[in-house]
DNA sequence: CGGATCTGTGCAATCGTTTGCCCATAAGAG
DNA sequence: CTCTTATGGGCAAACGATTGCACAGATCCG
């Protein structure tokens, strides 16, 4: 990918693309030097110019329809006022709200975002970082972090400011904004325990992701405190964060221990996958097994059953990450070395209830 | 916004940012001129150089960790190999799959995408177009089109290649890739009619959007053919494409005519909003009223009731739009003047059933 | 009235790549 | 042995904006 940007030679220089007026054209129109125009156009350097001149330049720029060429400006200033956002899968409903938060915060400071979607492919993620670096963005927000993520080294090697959002790298060399996953899982468990559950299992997200790992650890820690809980704790790891992985993990879990009365999942889609599997197995949620999700993605209130889940502050998380990155970019080191951890909430809906007095007759064969 | 890109002066030129090797550094290392390096790095211009030299340049570039500065290259070539995508609301589940289609097709041709989200705000959309133009992107894909959209004039004035996806401008000055909305609505109506419905109403999307308008028109045309249908056709226009707008529109519709037995909505979220309202009103869907959505967004299969809807080819639509745009950018005018219309499908689920009062058992005349 | 201090602008050098044009050297032709 | 004709690469001028420095004229001070 050293040369992703070659002119394919298909458009000639004499292309019909309109000639865009440059700072020189404006200068000519006003009868001053280009540098003067540049200064007049920049509010921060305008001070030393006469008000009259500034007004004339502005007027001329307006009538000519002048727009500054961001490419040229960035090349010269080494600042693009743009940051890249790397997302594993934009179709996962967790990310759009985070993205909105990022955009809102960036816009407030005059930055724009460039979003790259990697489809959970680490090679594509690497390429995305390379491309965004090649375009000289001012920084990167990574929502893709694995627990040990090579992107960290890449960013560090390229001297590219970066922050993690939602996930983070275990080496902690890059600041992050995350939700407190251990606390979130604990909320779910406390809720289930209060309902009377003891045989609570966990369907974990991929352990290479920081969220999957942290939530699992939170589960194991919290369950260690629960009297009468299975030892060791019951955990099945899903292959991905997708609905069908949840389906599959549910079947594995039931094969492992058919007596579970509640499942804490690492993500809403996994939870929905469990519901799919239960429906197929003619089990009822929450009558037979209670299920909790994680993230509180949209529409969870009208699926069947409405899913009890842990809500995280997506928008705020994105906004905080963006603000942090800008601080780093602009050398306000105030926040450069900090991690921000937001608190999650539990949203109780219909997928959790007290366990049956006698465990349901499960139709799945025991191994 | 003439100057979104000013250096805020917060990072000095002597910043600790690593010195990135340039083509000159590579040239020095190999002992040739920078122009030679440039040629060696470009497969298409490599022909006139000796194989040996090319190999040495490549090796030197590799060891120095050279990456071409896309900014500088774009400035010189006037090509950025990047296209902008303007989306009204990324949290609307319709758009991520379209975006994926766009990205996939772009990537296949070596382009990258820059996504801007406008939050349904036409002023922000304008600013986005300005910014992307300022960054000299090669083209724009617009998913925001209103029926009479000022962005069209803006793109045309700036000489910026553009295509519409999912929506389109009525003036038809910009090519588009859309789904056949009239056909889609007709599918829904035929299905309902086959079930025995006659008093079918429509909850339309905002009439300023091309989709809202086209689906409404499709509804009116198709209903004109239905014997025993209300005259004039029953239509309520929702304020936005959001769930609560659907809720509200449903109440208006019922106030207007309490006897409807089926509702064709312009969008899944509107349909879900209707379901919300029905639940509150202790009405049952589909027993009391059948409802169809539009778009087949994710999770519709597990909401209650599972929604009958019109599926459109999101991914393909995005991909086709991207391919079309690239054709235009690269002056292959083959497709420049065409519109592409994809065919929708009906997905029958649980939200539609025979009307309650129907005396005879109606056989499902459905494929 | 000479010199010091401002003010307002122009000059020219960057930023890093690309490419039209020209010029060596070598090879082949006559 | 001289004259073309390829080859292989160097030169320098773009692309468009920014900015340190210089400098002319105006203002001010003693």
Domain count, chain B: 3
CA gap A144, A135 in Å, rounded: 20
Q: Average pLDDT of A68-84?
A: 94
Lowest mean pLDDT among A16-25, A38-47, A316-325, B109-118: A16-25
Q: Does A68 touch chain B (CB under 8 A)?
A: yes
The answer on pLDDT for B367 being more than 80 is: no
CA A26 to chain centre: 43
Beta-carbon contacts below 8 Å between A and B: 195
Q: Are residues B174 and B285 in the same domain?
A: no
Instruction: Please check whether strand C approaches the CB of B335 to within 7 Å.
Output: no
Q: Residue B221: what pLDDT? A: 96
How far are the Cα atoms of A56, A146, A148, A158, A323 from residue A172, in angstroms, in the given order? 52, 12, 10, 17, 19
The answer on pLDDT for A344 being more than 90 is: yes
Query: Residue A6 — very low, low, confident or very high, per pLDDT cuts 50/70/90?
Result: very low
Query: Residue A332 — very low, low, confident or very high, per pLDDT cuts 50/70/90?
Result: low
- Return the higher-pLDDT residue of B11 and A278: A278
Is residue B8 in some structural domain?
no
The answer on pLDDT for A349 being more than 60 is: yes
Q: Does A298 touch chain B (CB under 8 A)?
A: yes
Q: Residue B11: what pLDDT? A: 34
Q: Residue B145: what pLDDT? A: 75
Query: Residue B337 — very low, low, confident or very high, per pLDDT cuts 50/70/90?
Result: low
Q: Residue A51: what pLDDT? A: 84
Q: Residue A159: what pLDDT? A: 87
Residues of B in contact with A5 (CB under 8 A): 68, 70, 73-74, 77, 79-81
Q: Are residues A204 and A300 in the same domain?
A: yes
CATH code for the domain of A218:
3.40.50.2300
Q: Which residues are bridge partners to B236 per DSSP?
A: B203
Query: Residue B43 — very low, low, confident or very high, per pLDDT cuts 50/70/90?
Result: confident
Round and report the angstrom distance from CA (A44) to C1' (D20): 16
Q: Are residues A206 and A151 in the same domain?
A: no
Is residue A107 in some structural domain?
yes
Domain boundary residue, one of A293, A308, A323: A308
Q: Where are the beta strands (DSSP E) in B233-321?
A: 234-237, 262-265, 290-292, 309-311
Q: Which bases along strand D come within 7 Å of a protein CB atom? A: 7-12, 14-20
Taking an 8 Å cut-off on Cβ atoms, the answer to whether A68 and B5 are in contact is yes
Round and report the angstrom distance from CA (A320) to C1' (C6): 45
Tokens 């995305």, located at residue:
A128
In chain B, % of residues over pLDDT 90: 76
Q: Is A344 helix (H, G, I), strand (E, B) or coil?
A: coil
- Return the higher-pLDDT residue of B204 and B8: B204
CATH code for the domain of A50:
1.10.260
Q: Are residues B220 and B141 in the same domain?
A: no
Residues of B in contact with A276 (CB under 8 A): 302
Q: Residue B19: what pLDDT? A: 74
CA gap A307, A271 in Å, rounded: 8
Q: Residue A338: what pLDDT? A: 81
Most confident of A168-172, B45-49, B228-232, B330-334: B228-232
The answer on pLDDT for A366 being more than 80 is: no
Is residue A130 in some structural domain?
yes
Q: Are residues A120 and A33 in the same domain?
A: no
Q: Are residues B90 and B32 in the same domain?
A: no
Q: Average pLDDT of B340-358?
A: 91
Tens digits of residue pLDDT in B136-166: 999 999 998 788 889 999 998 888 999 999 9
CA gap A111, A81 in Å, rounded: 5
Q: Are residues B32 and B143 in the same domain?
A: no
The answer on pLDDT for B359 being more than 80 is: no
Q: Are residues B221 and B331 in the same domain?
A: no
- Between residue 108 and residue 167 of chain B, the positions with Cβ below 7 Å from nucleic chain C are none
Mean pLDDT of chain A: 89
The answer on pLDDT for A334 being more than 70 is: no
Tokens 């910009």, located at residue:
B174
Task: Using CB atoms, pick whichever of B65, B90, B331 lies closest to residue A100.
Answer: B90
Q: Residue A358: what pLDDT? A: 53
Q: Does B210 touch chain A (CB under 8 A)?
A: no
- Between residue 35 and residue 74 of chain B, the positions with Cβ below 7 Å from nucleic chain D are 35-36, 48-50, 52-53, 72
CA gap A179, A191 in Å, rounded: 19
Nearest CA among A94, A143, A91, A135 for reference residue A112: A135
Is residue A15 in some structural domain?
no
Q: Are residues B112 and B175 in the same domain?
A: yes
In chain B, % of residues over pLDDT 70: 90
The answer on pLDDT for B290 being more than 70 is: yes
Task: Using CB atoms, pick whichever of A2, A80, A91 lies closest to residue B96.
Answer: A91
Domain boundary residue, one of B68, B98, B121: B68
Lowest mean pLDDT among A263-267, A268-272, B47-51, B85-89: B47-51
Q: Which domain holds residue A123?
A: 79-174+314-343
- Between residue 41 and residue 80 of chain A, the positions with Cβ below 7 Å from nucleic chain C are 48-50, 53, 72, 75-76, 78
Tens digits of residue pLDDT in A155-197: 988 889 999 999 888 888 899 999 999 999 999 999 999 999 9
Nearest CA among B74, B81, B135 for reference residue B108: B81
Which CA-bearing residue is nearest the C1' of C16? B72
The answer on pLDDT for B184 being more than 60 is: yes
Q: Residue B142: what pLDDT? A: 95
Instruction: Determine the distance in angstroms separating the CA of B168 from the nearest CA of chain A, rounded to an integer.
Output: 23
Instruction: Please check whether strand C approaches the CB of A157 to within 7 Å.
Output: no
Q: Are residues A35 and A88 in the same domain?
A: no
Q: Average pLDDT of A202-210?
A: 95
Cβ neighbourhood burial of A96 (10 Å; 0-12, 13-18, 19+): buried
Is residue A318 in some structural domain?
yes
Is residue B356 in some structural domain?
no
Q: Are residues A200 and A297 in the same domain?
A: yes
Is residue B233 in some structural domain?
yes
Q: Average pLDDT of A244-260?
A: 96
Tens digits of residue pLDDT in A123-147: 999 999 999 999 999 999 999 878 8
H/E element, B39: helix B34-41
Task: Using CB atoms, pick whichever of B16, B18, B115 lies closest to residue A115.
Answer: B115
Q: Which bases along strand C come within 7 Å of a protein CB atom? A: 7-12, 14-20
Q: Average pLDDT of B183-191?
A: 98
Taking an 8 Å cut-off on Cβ atoms, the answer to whether B304 and A299 are in contact is no
Residues of B in contact with A93 (CB under 8 A): 91, 93, 298
For A262, residues 6+ apart whose C-beta sits below 8 A from its C-beta are: A192, A195, A197, A199, A200, A201, A289, A290, A291, A292, A352, A355
The answer on pLDDT for A10 being more than 60 is: no
Q: Residue A205: what pLDDT? A: 97
Q: Residue A184: what pLDDT? A: 98
Is residue B10 in some structural domain?
no
CA gap B147, A88 in Å, rounded: 34
Tens digits of residue pLDDT in B208-240: 999 999 999 999 999 999 999 999 999 999 999
Q: Are residues A239 and A339 in the same domain?
A: no
CA A106 to chain centre: 15
């Amino acid at each position: 990918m050293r040369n992703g940007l070659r002119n394919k030679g298909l458009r000639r220089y004499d292309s019909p693309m309109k000639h865009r007026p440059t700072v020189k054209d404006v200068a000519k129109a006003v009868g001053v030097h280009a540098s003067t125009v540049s200064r007049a156009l920049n509010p921060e350097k305008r001070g030393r110019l006469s008000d009259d001149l500034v007004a004339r330049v502005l007027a001329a720029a307006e009538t000519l329809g002048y727009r500054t060429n961001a490419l040229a400006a960035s090349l010269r200033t080494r600042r693009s006022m743009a940051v890249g956002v790397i997302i594993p899968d934009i179709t996962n409903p967790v990310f759009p709200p985070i993205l909105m938060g990022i955009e809102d915060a960036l816009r407030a400071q005059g930055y724009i975002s460039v979003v790259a979607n990697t489809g959970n492919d680490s090679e594509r993620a690497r390429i995305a970082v390379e491309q965004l670096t090649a375009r000289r963005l001012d920084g990167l927000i990574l929502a893709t972090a694995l627990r040990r993520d090579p992107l960290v080294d890449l960013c560090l090697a390229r001297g590219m400011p970066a922050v993690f959002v939602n996930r983070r790298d275990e080496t902690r060399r890059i600041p992050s904004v995350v939700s407190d996953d251990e606390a979130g899982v604990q909320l779910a468990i406390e809720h289930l325990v209060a309902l009377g559950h003891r045989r609570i299992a966990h369907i974990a997200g991929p352990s290479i992701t920081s969220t999957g790992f942290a939530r699992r650890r939170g589960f194991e820690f919290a369950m260690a405190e629960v009297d009468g809980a299975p030892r060791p704790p019951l955990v099945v790891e899903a292959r991905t964060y997708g609905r069908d992985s949840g389906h599959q993990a549910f079947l594995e879990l039931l094969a492992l221990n058919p007596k579970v009365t509640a499942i804490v999942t690492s993500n809403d889609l996994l939870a929905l996958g469990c519901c799919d599997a239960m429906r197929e197995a003619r089990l009822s949620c929450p009558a037979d097994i209670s299920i909790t999700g994680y993230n509180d993605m949209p529409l969870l209130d009208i699926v069947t059953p409405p899913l009890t889940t842990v809500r995280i502050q997506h928008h705020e998380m994105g906004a905080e990450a963006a603000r942090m990155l800008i601080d780093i970019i602009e050398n306000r080191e105030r926040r450069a070395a900090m991690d921000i951890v937001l608190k999650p909430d539990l949203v109780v809906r219909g997928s959790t209830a007290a366990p049956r007095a006698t465990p349901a007759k499960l139709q799945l064969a025991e191994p």
